[in-house]
Chains A and B, each alone.
Chain A
Amino acid sequence: MSGTAITPLALVLLAASVTFLWRALGAVLASKIDTEGALFRWIACVSYATVAGLISRMAVLPTGELAETPLALRLGAVAIGFAVYFLARRNLLLAAAAGAASFAGGLALLPV
């Protein structure tokens, strides 16, 4: 059955259900697991690696319009964000703004 055979609203509700299923499974497992135990630490490692991998993929291999911007500009701007973060005594707001501003500046200077 094609995805267009059902209404967009029904598709949204189905998509919400399959996503919520994973969240709910995690929440249910959370109440049964020993949070001091080895299994919990391993799952935590998997979670951190997963989220970090997702974000790194967004920077290196973005989808959509961002894919057409130069890789060096994206990585350079992230690096500037990190540099400002540690120089400005861990100021997240300033660091994020500096990273985004260098990206915008780079885009304005470079022909995309």
Chain B
Amino acid sequence: MKAGTKASGPGPDRRAAFNEGIRHGLAVPSIVVFSTMLGFGSMAHANGFSAFEAFLSTLLVWAMPGQVAMADLRASGADLFVILLAVSMASVRFFPMATILVGTLRGATPDLPRQLLIAHLMSASTWPMGMAASQRMPVASAMAYYWPVATLCITFGCIGTLAGYWLSADMPEIARLTLVFLNVVFLSLLFAQTRDRLVILAVATGAVLGPPLHALEPNYGVLLTGVIGGTFAYALLGRRR
């Protein structure tokens, strides 16, 4: 990452970036988020949540692992404290992610309410898209790009939740599995656009460490992966700039 973003210079203006955000938001992420939340919707149905509660989870929690932990643990009769701890652990990643995305975009968004909205709309799709935008366009344009992308994603996520709640049991298995898998392919591909060596190293280290650390320590695996992988990449390439 070029620490710091382009304040001005080449790249689309805000209107062009906004339109690009709409196009990018409608292209793949909407389908991906829709299908991810389809899975959550059908799970919420199976675990005794109402359609409204499932919809509200997606709108207000907006983090698949946390939502799954909540629905799954409640159905298994877990202690309330354990449920909330699990949801919280699943969402710790938003702390560094928000620091970086909001920090990168803060030049275009100085007020706290909108910064909190940026942070709330972050997901595994919108965060890499917003970060990539900030590297190829001025920060005001990246902000104009992020809003439609993020709004479309959460909208399709809510629609997907309801669709999954009512429909997914009727879908053929192969279609259901492929929709879930599309999510995995798309999110992996989001990193293929990276050209910065430090980012590539951090991504590669995280990708290698993620599965074994999760197998070793399911509750803290994601967190450990980030801290160990990120620190390794930083120590190797990040100190001299």
Q: A93, B28: Cβ atoms under 8 Å?
A: yes
| Chain B residues, CB < 8 A from A1 | 79-81
Question: Which of B203, B206, B215 is within 8 Å of A61, CB to CB?
Answer: B215
A19-B62, A78-B188, A96-B189 in contact; A51/B127 too (CB < 8 A)? Answer: yes
Closest-CB distance, B147 to chain A (whole angstroms): 16
B91 nearest in chain A by CB position: A19
Size bracket, chain A contacts = 35 or more
A9, CB-defined interface residue at 8 Å: yes
**Interface code A1-34, partner B: CB below 8 Å = 1, 0 otherwise?**
1111110110111111011111111111111010
State whether A56 and B210 are in contact (beta carbons under 8 Å apart), knowing that A8-B48, A25-B98, A50-B223 are contacts in the complex.
yes
A103 to B89, CA, bound (A): 31
Residue of A23, A50, A55, A64 touching B116 (CB-CB under 8 A):
A23
When distances are taken between beta carbons in the complex, the residues of chain B under 8 Å from A40 are: 3, 99-100, 103
Query: What's the nearest-Cβ distance from chain B to residue A66, in Å?
Result: 5
Please list 8 pairs of residues, one from A and one from B, whose beta carbons are closer than 8 Å in the complex, sorted by A's number.
A23-B120, A43-B96, A45-B198, A49-B202, A50-B223, A69-B177, A81-B185, A95-B189
Chain B interface residues toward A at CB < 8 A: 1, 3-4, 27-28, 32, 39, 43, 48-50, 53, 56-57, 60-63, 65-68, 70, 73-74, 77-84, 87-88, 91-104, 106, 112, 115-116, 118-120, 122, 124, 127-128, 173-174, 176-178, 180-193, 198-199, 202-211, 213-215, 221-223, 225-231, 233-234, 238-239, 241
